[in-house]
Amino acid sequence: MPDQDTTKHRHRRRLSSAARQWVLIGAVAVVVAAVVVTVSVWLPNRPNGPDGRRIVERATAAQAFPGGLARQPASENQPGMRERVARQDGEDTTADRIAEIADQPIATWLTNTSVTKTRATIRQVVANAASQDKTPVFVLYNVPDRDCGSYSKGGTTASEYLPWVRSAVRAMAGSHAVVLVEPDAIAQIQVCKRLLDSRLPLLRKAVSELSGHGLTVYLDGGNENRVPTAKMAGWLREAGIDQTQGFFTNVSNFYRVDQERTYADGLADAIGGDPHFVIDVSRNGQGWRGTWCNPDGAGLGQDPHVAAGSSRLDALLWVKTPGLSDGTCNGGPAAGQWWESYALALVENRKGS
């Protein structure tokens, strides 16, 4: 049987061991608390969407469009090409009118299925924008079954699309470019039901490819008169708007800014997470003219510019190139072709929108 001194010594050792354990536990707790505090300080406080998904932090208008809007290089500016020819031919009045279009920042549409040619176009536009210290705006318009087989039909195959997007992203990476993803691609589902199952998952994958490369991305928000707001909000969530800056409206259309802003604010509320938006004002100076396809009486809208940043409106853009046909309707040439008489009429009918 151990003596009393031995028992006391063992007891003291047990107390010392327990004390050391509590000190260690306390130290670990302090470290964990410090990590939690550090993470809380350094990670952005990003809101959750209505379905619980994490939403990317939206940039301000100035952050989304650093330096303002870049003008296109001469090789991409179709109105500018025609202006130069008119001057060479001594048609100064025509040239002056077309210059009202050519001198504005216009988005560059990427429609060529060739990866090599698409990358070459992007690099040229990016370099030109960098020389101006301004932001280039690109439009991806190459989704499979584009325009549901209508006037602007075409696009890549399903297997080619994401590699094409990845290639475009590599050429844009780090440029701070703004990218408008596939006008009509979401809104057109309303009247082209065969797109419903495949289109939204494909766009979500495209958004994933575009994310994380210093680009500002907007998805198709249609316009005030195409898709019910609740339905469009659901489709945009499915397409990955939680990982973008927001959506665009009125592309290649004619609705006035005040109407589109009301619609866009309602759509943003329905989506949740405070998405921002941009509006195409290239041809809305006379408002809606009864049809989306080469309407009579249309006029140029406001000059494109970045918004002041006091609302969710980031910019008013010229997305559609004024003077390019919507398609073989109302006497127009094929979609995307220069139609000079229409361009001159847009200038003649110009009015603040």
Write out the E strands in 79-132. 108-110
Return the DSSP state at 302: S
User: Would the pLDDT of 177 be above 70?
Assistant: yes
What mean pLDDT comes out for the span 164-192? 98
Q: Which residues neighbour 229 within 8 Å (Cβ) at sequence distance 6 or greater? A: 263, 266, 267, 270
**Residue whose structure tokens are 């797109």:** 195
3-state secondary structure of 139: strand
Look over the chain and give the mean of its residue pLDDT values, rounded to a whole number. 88
pLDDT confidence of residue 31: 35
In which element (H, E) is residue 269 found?
A: helix 257-271
pLDDT given for residue 92 in this prediction: 96
349 neighbors 299 (Cβ within 8 angstroms): yes
Residue 254 predicted with pLDDT over 90:
yes
Q: Domain spans of the chain?
A: 1-43, 61-348
Share of the chain above pLDDT 70, in %: 84
Contacts of 79 (CB under 8 A, 6+ apart): 98, 99, 101, 102, 106, 321, 322, 323, 338, 343
Question: Is the predicted pLDDT of residue 34 greater than 60, yes or no?
Answer: no
- What count of residues does the chain have? 353
pLDDT at 42 over 50: no
pTM of the model: 0.85
| Reported confidence tier of residue 309, pLDDT bands at 50, 70, 90 | confident
Give the C-alpha separation, 301 to 233, whole Å: 27
Q: What is the pLDDT of residue 351?
A: 72
If you average pLDDT over residues 301-320, what whole number do you get?
Answer: 96
* 21-30, 131-140, 317-326, range with the lowest pLDDT: 21-30
Q: How far apart are CA 101 and CA 79, in angstroms?
A: 7
Class of domain 61-348: alpha beta
Predicted pLDDT at 82: 97
Which whole-number Å values give the CA distances from 42 to 37, 38, 274, in the listed order? 9, 6, 22
Supply 131's token pair.
Answer: 């020389």
CA–CA dist 326, 240 (Å, integer)? 28
* Closest to 314 measured CA to CA, from 204, 216, 171, 197: 216
The set of catalytic residues is 147, 184, 326
pLDDT band, very low/low/confident/very high, at 52 (cuts 50, 70, 90): low
What pLDDT was estimated at residue 229? 98
Sign of CA dihedral 228, 233, 239, 241: positive
Q: How confident is the model at residue 173 (pLDDT cuts 50, 70, 90)?
A: very high
Are 105 and 137 in contact, with CB atoms under 8 Å apart? yes
List pLDDT tens digits, range 64-122. 999 999 999 999 999 999 999 999 999 999 999 999 999 999 999 999 999 999 999 99
Q: Is residue 196 packed enough to be buried (19+ CB in 10 Å), middle (13-18) or exposed (0-12)?
A: exposed
At 222-250, the pLDDT tens digits run 999 999 999 999 999 999 999 999 999 99
**Model pLDDT for residues 261-278, shown as the tens digit of each residue:** 999 999 999 999 999 999
